[in-house]
Chains A and B, each alone.
Chain A
């Protein structure tokens, strides 16, 4: 391959890259549009200016020829010849004026033209011709008239002023076009560079994030343009992704941790039993203990899967209208005897007719979970109030206890997988996470607040009106 073709190829490639740049294309299109607008404006200006001058010249020529014709009527050919000679000699405007008087045979009687121009005679219109005067060609607006005695009168006006004006306008236009082009190219380059610098900041960030660094953000700018809004959106998205990633990381760490403890226990139990002097009973006990632990683990995993599946939430279309207040009352009734045994007063504060669109069993599971938590943590002598009420367009299901409550810092973490307030009490740390997933599936929210004293758990679901 020759060097030239390589060079032309790389130039082509560069041009193609340039054309692929959105900034360049945008600026170029904009520039082309400006050029077209300019061209139209210039053309109009040109035509108007030159047109005015042209009309002026034509009027002068016509006036002159009419005057001479009148003179002919009064004073005949000699009078006309005399006035022409006088006008050409007076020096006023004589540079611009062109006259020629011919006799019947076409011989020049008088005038300042070297030859007879080829002109149609007796027309009312002025035409443009290049004629010879004193050996020089001049552009002129001319008219020829046949006089009643057979002579021909030619009157013209040199168009030098028109030509010079034309040249002036053309030069001005060329200069303007040049400056415009310069501005357009410069503007395109600047626009493209500016666009690229703004995009570059975003690209650097996304590349960094793609490479695995979730902490970087698009740097803030003082501008408040489209890019600033895009930057803000991207940063917000990255915040959310980072949060989700942290959540996933936390969950997998928690799973690993939650697994390790029972695994260690199982291993220790089996190893202890696995000795040559172990009795059959010892081996069997170890086996049973291992099975129990593994069953508990299986339950944890089942629960995790269930939460994941609920969170994926694709089955909402199977929901039916259910009486949320009835579910809450059933749960109160179900737990009444447990509460009694624990010395806790379970109070039914449900209002009637609270309907939501949902799944009865799932909602009952959530309510049971909240009541179980309240019974477990509120302690003997506590009061647990279970409510179902309407608040605007929402149905609010609540379980409020007056026990020791939850430290404010931990309120936020309730419902996180494996988060447990008190690790010495039995539990998987998945109950509230599952409740949160179910409530989310129902299009609602679950919130925990300080009941001063105690914990208030409130579920907000869109109320269903038949």
Chain B
């Protein structure tokens, strides 16, 4: 269970996010006032802060983030922005270990991004080797093995698998994959990511007794041995 702080003055949107997080089994506190929000964000420990960009009295959510970082708070923050993805300052968040999402967003996208943020904050430096079930990836020598058998991957497929392996058992949305693997952030209108996944899947899961790459309908993909256990938890249909 994560402790989530939502700093957002729009009651409807705050409730939408809070209810969704509670449904996933987390605790969520809503702060509508920027001052109280800043106080809560700096005084208490949170697993993640969900911060709206436009707060009452002309306060920019980014100033709260700056204050938090200024006093050494490393809590992961996801910024909700009603502005389009054109703002360089918002985009710069990714460099600081944070993330942003433009309104309106699907809750599943927010949930997936929060999960990635929280987990990244909890893991230490990326190890040279990753493994899940009988799938192994060597990030240094760029080798992939499934059940002891070596798998040949194209460079882009390798990056895709490496990203999924470093976020195991997490739902990864198509935009997250496009962003992490191709370094572009836009919404593809077609199934372009699905085709890449299906090619990777053919190489990884072909001939294996059980698949590791699973589709989460309407949301994205997850890499896991036993997806059923948390697919119900991770991807509520909202």
Q: Is the CB of B192 within 8 A of A335?
A: yes
From A295, A330, A368, B188 is in contact (CB under 8 Å) with A368
- A272 sits at the interface (CB 8 A): no
Query: Are A318 and B86 in contact, CB atoms less than 8 angstroms apart?
Result: yes
Q: Are A375 and B190 in contact (CB under 8 A)?
A: yes
Q: Which of B183-238 contact A (CB under 8 A)?
A: 184-192, 195-196, 199, 218, 237-238
Q: Which residues of A contact B182 (CB under 8 A)?
A: 330, 334
Please encode chain A, from 356 to 380, with 1 for each CB lying within 8 Å of some chain B CB and 0 for all others.
0001111011001100100110000
Pairwise interchain contact B188-A372, C-beta atoms closer than 8 A: yes
Closest chain-B Cβ to A319's Cβ sits at a distance in Å of: 9
B84 touches A306 (CB 8 A): yes
Give the distance to chain B from A176, nearest Cβ to Cβ, in Å. Answer: 73
- Is A337 in the interface zone, CB < 8 Å from B? yes
A130 cross-chain contacts in B, Cβ below 8 A:
none
Q: Please measure, in the bound complex, the distance between the C-alpha atom of A301 and the C-alpha atom of B195, giving whole angstroms.
A: 27
* Whole-angstrom CA separation of A301 from B188 in the bound complex: 16
Our pick among A291, A298, A341 for the contact of B195 (Cβ within 8 Å) is A341
Interface-central residue, B182, B184, B185, by most chain A CB under 10 Å: B184
A interface, over-half SS: helix
Count of residues in A whose CB is under 8 Å from the partner chain: 34
CA A335 to CA B186, docked complex, whole Å:
14
- Name the one of B178, B184, B195 contacting A337, with C-beta atoms under 8 angstroms: B195
Chain B 81-109 against A: per-residue CB contact (8 Å), 1 yes, 0 no?
Answer: 00111111000000000000011101000
Contact A359 B86 (CB under 8 A): yes
Q: B156 an interface residue at 8 Å Cβ cutoff?
A: yes
Judge whether A372 and B86 touch: CB under 8 Å. Answer: no
Residues on A with C-beta less than 8 A from B87 are 315, 318
Is A333 close to B, CB under 8 A?
yes
> DSSP class of B's interface residues: helix, strand, loop or mixed?
loop
Number of B residues near A (Cβ < 8 Å) is: 28
The residue of chain B having its C-beta at the shortest distance from the C-beta of A318 within the complex is: B88
- CA A360 – CA B88 in complex, angstroms? 11
A292 and B218 contact, CB distance less than 8 A:
yes
Q: Does A452 contact B (CB under 8 A)?
A: no
A376 and B189 alpha carbons, distance in the complex (Å): 11
B188 / chain A contacts, CB cutoff of 8 Å: 368, 372
Contact of A360 with B184 at beta-carbon distance under 8 Å, contacts A291-B238, A302-B104 already known: yes
Residue contact B184 to A338, C-beta cutoff 8 Å: no
> Please, which residues of chain B bring their CB within 8 A of the CB of A431?
189
- Residue-wise, chain A 278-299 has the 8 Å CB interface mask toward B (1 for contact) of 0000000000100110010010
Q: B106 contacts A295, CB within 8 Å?
A: yes
Residues of B within 8 A of A335 (CB): 192
Chain B neighbourhood of A365, CB < 8 A: 184, 186-187
| Alpha-carbon separation in the docked complex, A318 to B88 (Å) | 7
Q: Tell whether, in the assembled complex, residue B196 and residue A372 are in contact, meaning their CB atoms are under 8 Å apart.
A: no
Set of chain B residues within 8 Å of A333, measured between Cβ atoms? 156
Known: A315-B86, A364-B186. A334 touches B104 (CB 8 A): no
Say which residue of A295, A309, A362, A372 sits within 8 Å of B189 (CB atoms). Answer: A372
Q: Which of A394-451 contact B (CB under 8 A)?
A: 427-428, 431
Give the residues in chain B near A309, CB-CB below 8 Å.
83-84, 86
Across the interface, which residues of B come within 8 angstroms of A362, CB to CB?
Answer: 85-86, 186
CB proximity of A404 to chain B, nearest CB, Å: 19
Interfacial chain A residues near B189, Cβ < 8 Å = 368-369, 372, 427-428, 431
Partner pick for A338 among B103, B185, B186, B195, CB 8 A cutoff: B195
Query: Within 8 Å CB of B199, what residues of A?
Result: 337
Which B residues lie within 8 Å of A375 (CB)?
Answer: 190
A338–B191 CB distance below 8 A: yes
Residue pair B88, A368 in contact (C-beta under 8 Å): no
> Does A310 sit within 8 A of B, measured CB to CB?
yes
A306 to B192, CA, bound (A): 22
Nearest CB of chain A from residue B157's CB, rounded to whole Å: 10
Q: Are B85 and A361 neighbours in the complex by a CB distance under 8 Å?
A: yes
Given contacts A361-B186, A376-B190, contact A337 B86 (CB under 8 A): no
Cα of A333 to Cα of B87 in the assembled complex, Å: 27
State which of A288, A298, A334, A428 has its C-beta within 8 Å of the C-beta of B192.
A334
Q: Which residues of A contact B106 (CB under 8 A)?
A: 295, 298
Q: C-beta contact mask, A204-225 vs B, less than 8 Å → 1, else 0?
A: 0000000000000000000000
Q: Closest residue of chain A to B106, judged by CB? A: A295
Among B102, B186, B196, B218, contact of A368 (Cβ-Cβ < 8 Å): B186
Q: In the complex, are the beta carbons of A301 and B104 less than 8 A apart?
A: yes
Q: Which residues of B contact A291 (CB under 8 A)?
A: 237-238
Complex alpha-carbon distance, A173 and B78, angstroms:
91
**What residues of chain B lie closer than 8 Å to A364, measured between beta carbons?**
184, 186
Q: A301-B104, A302-B104 are in contact. Are A310 and B192 (CB under 8 A)?
A: no
* Cα(A375)–Cα(B195), bound, Å: 14
Task: Find the residue from A292, A306, A376 having the highest chain B CB count within 10 A.
Answer: A306
A429 to B122, CA, bound (A): 43
Contacts of A337 in B (CB 8 A): 195-196, 199
| Residues of chain A with a CB closer than 8 A to B103's CB | 302
**Complex CA distance for A362 and B88, rounded to whole angstroms:** 12
Report yes or no: B86 in contact with A288, Cβ–Cβ below 8 A.
no
The residue on A at minimum CB distance from B91 is A361
Give the residues in chain B near A306, CB-CB below 8 Å: 84, 102
Closest-by-CB residue of A relative to B185 is A361
Minimum CB–CB distance from B195 to chain A (whole Å) comes to 5
Measured CB to CB, the closest approach of chain B to A342, in angstroms, equals 9
**Given the complex, which residues of B lie within 8 Å of A368, measured CB to CB?**
186, 188-189, 192
Counting from the closest, the 10 A-B pairs by CB-CB distance are A365-B186, A315-B86, A364-B184, A302-B104, A318-B88, A361-B185, A338-B195, A372-B190, A337-B195, A309-B84
A–B complex contacts, Cβ < 8 Å, 5 sampled: A318-B88, A361-B185, A365-B186, A372-B189, A372-B192
Known: A305-B104, A315-B86, A427-B189. 4 other contacts (CB 8 A): A301-B104, A362-B186, A372-B188, A372-B189
Which residue numbers of B lie inside 8 Å of A, CB to CB?
A: 83-88, 102-104, 106, 156, 178, 182, 184-192, 195-196, 199, 218, 237-238
